[in-house]
Amino acid sequence: MSAPVRVALVGLGWWGQKIAAVLKAAPDQVTILRAVEPNETVARAFAVTHGIPVTPDLDSALADPAVEAVLLVTPHSLHAAQVAASAAAGKHVFCEKPLALTRAGAVAAVQAVEGAGLVLATGHERRFEPPLARLIAAVDRGEMGRLMQFDATFSHDKFLALDPSNWRLGAQDAPAAGMTATGIHLLDLAVRLMGPARSVVVSCETLGSSLPQGDTIAAFIRFAGGGTATIAANLAMPFVSRCTLFGSEAWVDIRDRAHVEAPDGWVVTQARKGGKIEVFDIGPAEPVRDNILAFAGAIRGQAPYPITSAQMIETAALLEAIVAGAKSGPVVTL
């Protein structure tokens, strides 16, 4: 068995803590060698709890020759500089979503990391949820027929308790309601299933809160290869996560029982042409961990990382168009 990949965990906020927790179950594949966190109170508590050294700046982790890879769990606007610095230091990069807020930013990230012969991965753990992994495999085998429509919603109200100054609510990091927090996962799935987008129409409103960048966003997307998607993300309603893919031979609807922070399984409803509608459950899994383990496996040469650089770039391009559409209103052509 290959030695575990030695990583630096950069950012110990809500999601950084989640990643640290799930990786405890896979010490033979990934070892958190050190962490980076500028908040002294958070850093001290993490060091005591996990027995892992924490320093306040990324440079110290990048200078450590024992660190093979970095897990960037930081504000979106920091990703570009941190990805570039990590690649320049010879570290493989796992960057939380969104990898970039623009197509150009994603291209730069891909060129920096892959140009250095390193592995680039991103935090789209939805692909690693068992029912979605099964759906993607069925699409690749042609079992769904001609793909026609993708309809998805991922919403919650976890951010309503945040201080208004929190970066997750600011125009720089979250310029279009919940699209960078939750909707971006659905954009990744849409690109994986339907291909590059051609145009998008967006509605962004503030309906159930006082969140400064809006709390309700929906995008209607047309794809270069045909077909459409409707993607919605709300930051002021109880948790809901569901997606439905419609093809000429079958359709599949997947509904989460709980937020991926604490997964509790899925309810799947599906039907094939001429057949009856079926409903069944799939038990809990830990897709956040499995995504990072896929990254580690790619570093060790066991299998390519399944999210391609082309898909990362197309997802960023679609996000950029949606942000533009949220401000302007009319059709945005990619």
Same domain, 9 and 81: yes
Domain count, the chain: 2
Instruction: For residues 170 and 253, state if they share a domain.
Output: yes
Domain of 110 in residue numbering reads as: 5-125+293-299
Whether 73 and 221 share a structural domain: no
Does 307 fall in a domain?
no
In this prediction the pTM is 0.95
Helix (H, G, I), strand (E, B) or coil at 38: coil
pLDDT of residue 28: 94
**92-109 mean pLDDT:** 97
Confidence band, pLDDT 50/70/90 cuts, at residue 332: low
What is 275-302 written as a DSSP string? S--EEEEE----HHHHHHHHHHHHHTTS
The reported pLDDT for the residue numbered 117 is 98
Instruction: Find residue 332's DSSP bridge partners.
Output: 200
Pair 151, 164 in one domain:
yes
- Is the domain of 59 the same as that of 155? no
Q: If pLDDT is split at 50, 70 and 90, which confidence band does 68 have?
A: very high
pLDDT digits (tens, 9 = 90+) for 101-127: 999 999 999 999 999 999 999 999 999
Among the listed residues 257, 263, 288, 291, the one whose alpha carbon sits nearest the alpha carbon of residue 16:
288
The CATH number assigned to the domain holding 238 equals: 3.30.360.10
Domain match, 112 and 135 both: no
